[in-house]
Structure formats: structure tokens, C-alpha cells
Amino acid sequence: MNILIAGNGGREHALATGIINSESFRSSNSRLYCTSGSAGLDLISKPVNIKPSDIQGITSFAESEKIDFVVVGPELPLSLGLADVLRDAGIKVFGPGKLAAEIESSKIFAKELMNDAGIPTAKFRSFNSEKFKEAFEYINEIKFPSVIKADGLAAGKGVIIVNSKSEAENAINSFTKEKIFGEAGAGFVIESYLQGYEVSLFAVTDGENYLLLPPSQDHKRIGEGDTGKNTGGMGAYAPLLTEQIDGELTKKIENKIIKPVLREMKNRDRKYTGCLYCGLMIAEENGGKEPYVIEFNCRFGDPETQAVLPLIKSDFLDLLLASVENRIEKYKLEFYDKYSCCVILSSGGYPDGYETGKTITGLDNVSDDCFVFHSGTKFNEDKQVITTGGRVLGVTALSEISHKDAIGKCYENVKLINFENCYFRRDIGYRVLK
């Protein structure tokens, strides 16, 4: 089987690693290609010099190279309709079509869908570009803090938490007049601020049935203790403790969120297949825990994927194919009884300006049972690995003993890697260490 991964970050390196370690891949005459690339991906797949969002380029390549299966990593190509174009060309694709991907690419669509299906989420009002003036009236009625979110894709940055009416006015002006998020912010949602703790949960689905992967927790802020600016994610651990998510809460999430959303999408002729990322806030209410949806994403999360996929024991390639071939109900999903922790190494200055082109040393010193996923690297002319992005590497360690042990192992290995101005958070997983 010829497989192509569209995307080139840490998530895609974790997906590629899961695929090449699958028994079904190793025992067959399969080949893996990836839209270029990173130094890590180039070592395990054949690089293809096409951008992940170049729909025509990817489709032509897939047709000419006889690609059987395309796995789409990021949201942008999905929101542009890559999966539909490939399916029309007779190629199997992991990931939803354009209409289904709107669950991530339009917050207004997602919020209204949740409202209609009775899915718990923060109370909200949506405003399109014509009706944005009504937002200035609405902010007289709301409590603070409140949250203002750009309708469209904004690389995880389209969310502003406002603490007063004047901050809300500034935020609305920055969306509508200054257009800080371009067209993505022409429409927006104002929603109430949810209290609680966040959980990331992936449901792999064929549109009818789904399988849950171990729940995880991201660390979105740049600074220790969850301070400073939002980033793409600075680290993650999995699975969560039963105090954080137990069987009863999981059932609530399935019954109140996952089943209704898949049903509603199907009813609207937007059958959802692929990975549904549920970004949840867990609130303590009347002595129990209640899940609320912060957001849905139409793909695997990053960096959570780098912590979650190494816990999967069963054949990962076959799981992806089961989603495409309507076989999720029969797929037997098994996990290792292990704990995992992923720490992201970033370029100093990220998420603002940073320098690239720094030589990375120590990659060969990392212990064999650790994974190093590449987010922003490449080989230079001297075959040295250099930095190319804000997030550079994700180091994932596993332990059979405890979270504490996985976290400790992870930092032992992080210390072995170096590049100029390398920055990482030293407190990934602090909530499970308390």
C-alpha cells in the first residue's frame, strides 16, 4: 500500500511513526510518503515537495504515484476540501470532507450545531460581519470575564479573554476594524467563561461508531504555571488520572457530546469521519463533574498526539483504515498500560519572533525507549539537523510505573538535546504531580 501523509509537524511525525510501526505496514510491501518535511520525517518517509494545502498538487501526485491512502494531519487542507477532492479521485482519505470540517473551521457553525443538538457548551451569541454592531449592545448584558472567538481558522490564536466592557470593545474593534485575524475574524462568537480544568479527547470515527483514545492534557501557555501567551501547545501527558476523568464522566461525555454530535452531523448530510478532537472543560457542579465543549477540531491535536499515539498497542494503520472503511465497530483497540509525557522544545522568543537555523546537538544521545518527534527541523547541506520553526521538537517518554516516572525520564532526555536559545517548560504534567 502506498500511503501519503499531508502535513509536516510533530503530529505528523507521530502519525508516521505509528504507521511504520504497525504490523500491517511492516508485513506488507508498503511505502510511506510525506509532504516535506522535517529531518525526522525525512528519515522514515519519502519526502514530497508539495505544501499540505496544495490540493491540486497533492491530488496530481497521489494519482501519478498510485497512492492508495492519504492521511491528512492539519485542519487547513481539510477545511479547503482536500478529502473531498481525493475521494472523488477514488483515493482513500483519513479525515473529514470540507462540510464536516466546518466543525472546526467555523466556530459559529459549531456553536449553533451544539445548541441545536443540546450539547453542553458555554452560553454564546454569534455575530456575522453585517451584524457586528449588535455585539456592542450585547456586551452590556454579559458578565466578565467573557471570551471572544474569531469564527474562522486562526492557528489557535483567535481567542481573546476579556475582563471588562472596555476590553470587550477593544477586542471587537480589533476583529472588525483592525482585522487582526483577517477574514477569519469577520464573524465571531461571544461566549461565557467556563471554570474548570481542560481535557483533550480524541474519538476516531467512521461517522457511525467511534473509539476513544486515552484522554490527555495540553499545556497551551508559554510560561510555567500556565502563564503568558497562548501557543500551539508546550507539552502534554496521557492518560489522565481517574480523579480527572473516570468511567462515569467518560459515559457523560459519550452520551451528551460525542454521540449527539456524530448524529447531528449525519442528519445534516455532513457525516463526520476521521479524528474528532473534543476540547473539553470539566466543571465541578453539585458535587459531580460536568463536561462542556470548548471546541471541536477536525483532526488530531498537537502536541497531544505525540503523547497519546505511543500508548496504542493495536495496529495503528489499521485503525485509520477502519475509520475510512466503516469498520470501527469491529476494530479491537488496545493500549499499553503505560504513562506518557511529551515536552516541547521551542525556539526562544516563540510564540513571538524567534531565530531559526540553529544546529541541534545531542539527538543521538536520547535513550532508545524515548520518541523525538520533529516539529520544525531540517537537514542542512552538511547533514546537520537545524531548527526551522517556533516549536522544534517534542520529546516523549513512557513509563510502566507512574506519571512521575514518565515525566522524570522525559526531562532526563530533554537535557541531552541542545540548540542555541532552546526554551521548554519545566512543569509539564504538574497537575498529576500534586
| Interface contacts to ligand AMP, rule CB under 6 A | 122, 147, 149, 156, 159, 191, 193-194, 198, 220, 279, 294-295
Nearest CB to ligand GLY, comparing residues 304 and 315: 304
The entry of ligand GLY, ligand AMP, none that residue 294 binds, CB within 5 to 8 Å by partner kind = ligand AMP
How far apart are CB 143 and ligand GLY at their closest, in Å? 27
Beta strands in 133-259 (DSSP E): 146-150, 159-162, 188-192, 197-205, 210-212, 217-218, 221-223, 227-230, 235-238
Count interface residues toward ligand GLY (CB under 6 A). Answer: 7
Ordered alpha helix ranges (H), 46-154? 55-64, 75-79, 82-88, 98-105, 107-117, 133-138
Which residue in 116, 94, 78, 98 sits closest to 4, CA to CA? 94
* Cα of 173 vs its chain's centroid, Å: 29
The grid coordinates of residue 433 equal 504531580
- The piece of 242-250, 294-302, 319-327, 389-397 that touches ligand GLY (CB under 6 A) is 294-302
Which residue in 61, 2, 6, 7 sits closest to 32, CA to CA? 2
Binding mask 110-149 for ligand GLY (x = CB under 6 A): ----------------------------------------
How far apart are CB 95 and ligand GLY at their closest, in Å? 14
How far apart are CB 203 and ligand AMP at their closest, in Å? 17
- The piece of 25-33, 295-303, 336-344, 353-361 that touches ligand GLY (CB under 6 A) is 295-303
Nearest CB to ligand AMP, comparing residues 346 and 399: 346
How far apart are CB 157 and ligand AMP at their closest, in Å? 8
Q: What are phi and psi of 312, to 5 degrees?
A: -85, 125
Reported as type and span, the H/E element at residue 413 is: helix 403-414
The entry of ligand AMP, ligand GLY, none that residue 122 binds, CB within 5 to 8 Å by partner kind = ligand AMP
| Residues 145, 162 contacting (CB under 8 angstroms) | yes
How far apart are CB 217 and ligand GLY at their closest, in Å? 10
Nearest CB to ligand GLY, comparing residues 191 and 315: 191
AA identity, residue 362: G
**Does 145 sit behind a cis peptide bond, omega within 30 degrees of 0 on the bond before it?**
yes
Give me Rg for the CA atoms of the chain: 21
Which residue in 295, 301, 290 sits closest to 109, CA to CA? 295
Applying the rule CB under 6 A, the residues between 219 and 258 that interact with ligand GLY are: 233
Q: Does residue 297 interact with ligand GLY by CB under 6 A?
A: yes
Q: Which residues bind ligand GLY (CB under 6 A)?
A: 156, 218, 233, 297, 301-302, 304
